[in-house]
Amino acid sequence: MPLPDQLNAEIDARREDLIALTQDLLRIPTLNPPGENYLEICEYLSNRLRGSGFTVELIRAHGTPGDSEKYPRWNMIARREGKRPGECVHFNSHIDVVDVGHGWTRDPFGGELVDGKIYGRGACDMKGGLAASIVAAEAFLAVNPDFSGAIEISGTADEESGGYGGVAYLAEKGYFSPERVQHVIIPEPLNKDRICLGHRGVWWAEIETHGEIAHGSMPFLGDCAVRHMGAVLEEMEENLFPALAQKRTDMPVVPEGARQSTLNINSIHGGQSEGDEDFTGLPSPCVPDSCRVVIDRRFLLEENIEDVQAEIRDLLEGVEKKRENFRYDLKELHRVLPTMTDKDAPVVKTVAKAIAQTMGKEAEYVVSPGTYDQKHIDRIGKLKNCIAYGPGILDLAHKPDEYVGVEDMLDSAKVMGLSLLELLARP
């Protein structure tokens, strides 16, 4: 039998193992925040991969945001060397999952298998992808033990909260340098026939307007910061939102609605803070002297960060010209530059070919509206040959009754395995 057929048969034969592995991962609740059970899941992965001949390192990201003795940021990185020198293919999955939320009809940490779907928080985002990559690598090793290069599999912390205690930390330590790793596949749930080339950029900022406190019965003796902020928001409604909708991108962002610049007003706070939930009293009458909004601006490869910042600064300066006593502060909170891997990059071409072989159709190329760990591999690791590819339906991520389909995991494991054959099995 030709090697690709042997590999596919080997993956099909591991169906029960793939299901059990996914269920085991789902039964370790790795909620983030706060970042629970990272060591436990890393040890589980470590035992599994040591059993398959990998050398494993457990790395704690000391001192990164959220790292503490109670919630240490643990990461697992496994490597298996081939018989001859060659390139290294790395599968990176995040081990953390988001809050359960309301509306579940299944046990979020039960790993229930019903009608070919495995349910649980993190099933599609992205423990199903992690399990598929492990089974793909193990099946590849079974049919082709005499390979060149190396395979790496990592399980990393905190992707859902920015990845600073996970991929960013490892990239800073050189684990994603182009000398060590040549191809990176992140099995995020982008659907099994799609290749995600990158993501839009992010700019978070806080705008604060200032006023003057006074008695609420005589507001003319003070200056209302909330009204100043109202003027800022009005300016956004009138001019900024329509202008952003005009900025279209050639990036193949999905969903279609995100194929433009967007802005979300993430929060607004002004005046007295609300009392505790059990406080039954009334507020005291005061004119608010401060109002703050946090904005979440998503930008395109065609824009640069300086222009994105200038747009907001210009808006504020415009309001300042029109409004008496308007005083404000603008503070950047967070930034991520947009990134998009070239369609001709080796990992893209390889995975596209494997998708066509497995699914009998051409791969679709997409870009994510939000960011994921590729940002750190690109900016810190300086490694451009990176994509997201994995099983699971993107729309189910972070939702109640999240699941991953067993057939989808098998198909994407085949795509990953065939990619390994293409990249590492060459004589």
Using CA atoms, how far residue 76 sits from 59, 99, 175, 231, in Å, is 6, 22, 12, 50
Nearer Cβ to Zn ion (126/336):
126
Nearer Cβ to Zn ion (190/421):
190
Q: How far is the CB of 372 from Zn ion (least distance, A)?
A: 6
Residue 98 sits in the site that holds Zn ion (CB under 5 A): no
Spatial distance between the Cα atoms of 159 and 171, rounded to a whole number of angstroms:
13
Nearer Cβ to Zn ion (8/92):
92
Q: How far is the CB of 246 from Zn ion (least distance, A)?
A: 31
Q: How far is the CB of 93 from Zn ion (least distance, A)?
A: 8
Nearer Cβ to Zn ion (160/223):
160
Q: Could you please report the per-residue DSSP string of 322-379?
A: HSTT-EEEEEEEEEE--EE--TTSHHHHHHHHHHHHHHSSPPEEEEESS--THHHHHH
Binders of Zn ion among residues 171 to 230 (CB under 5 A) are 188
Q: How far is the CB of 389 from Zn ion (least distance, A)?
A: 13
Q: How far is the CB of 297 from Zn ion (least distance, A)?
A: 22
Nearer Cβ to Zn ion (98/347):
98
**DSSP assigned state of 300:** -
Using CA atoms, how far residue 227 sits from 222, 292, 329, in Å, is 12, 12, 15
Residue in the shown chain whose Cβ atom is closest to Zn ion:
125
Nearer Cβ to Zn ion (124/423):
124
Nearer Cβ to Zn ion (124/136):
124
> Which residue(s) pair with 313 in the sheet?
none
What does the block give as tokens for 105? 């009809």
Q: How far is the CB of 29 from Zn ion (least distance, A)?
A: 16
Q: How far is the CB of 364 from Zn ion (least distance, A)?
A: 19
**Count of residues binding Zn ion (CB under 5 A)?**
3
Instruction: Answer whether 58's CB lies under 8 Å from 85's CB.
Output: no
Instruction: Answer whether 411's CB lies under 8 Å from 391's CB.
Output: yes
Binders of Zn ion among residues 112 to 131 (CB under 5 A) are 125-126
Q: Could you please report the per-residue DSSP string of 145-194?
A: -S-EEEEEEEEES-GGGTSTTTHHHHHHTTTT-TTT-SEEEE--SS-TTE
Number of neighbours of residue 5 by Cβ within 10 angstroms: 10
Spatial distance between the Cα atoms of 202 and 338, rounded to a whole number of angstroms:
7
Q: Which residues bind Zn ion (CB under 5 A)?
A: 125-126, 188
